């Protein structure tokens, strides 16, 4: 079996393809998001920012990227 060159993940409710081998850090970089400005939920678990480098993004991961917006 050849290594996968791309993966499909569920990102903020949408199916999207990315190159294989991303960590959370590189995924945020690819999306041009500052890690300090967002919170990452991976498969319903909130990630610690310190672990972004170590966590690999794999096929079928469900990722939610949230931040603060205006609200009452």
The reply on whether position 30 binds other proteins by CB under 8 A is: no
- Binder to other proteins among 10, 25, 33, 55 (CB under 8 A)? 33
Q: What residue ranges in 5-50 does DSSP mark as E strands?
A: 6-11, 14-19, 39-42, 45-46
Is 15 a binding residue for other proteins by CB under 8 A? The answer is no
Residue 40 CB coordination number (10 Å): 21
Question: Is 23 within 8 Å of 54 (Cβ atoms)?
Answer: yes
Q: How far is the CB of 71 from other proteins (least distance, A)?
A: 3
Residues in contact with other proteins by the rule CB under 8 A:
11-14, 31, 33, 36-39, 41, 44, 46, 49, 64-72
């Amino acid at each position: 079996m050849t290594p996968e060159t791309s993966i499909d993940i569920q990102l903020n409710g949408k199916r999207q393809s990315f190159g294989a081998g991303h960590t959370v850090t590189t995924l945020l970089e690819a999306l041009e998001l500052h890690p300090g400005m967002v919170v990452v939920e991976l498969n319903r678990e909130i990630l610690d920012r310190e672990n972004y480098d170590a966590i690999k993004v794999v096929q079928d991961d469900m990722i939610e990227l949230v931040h603060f917006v205006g609200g009452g």
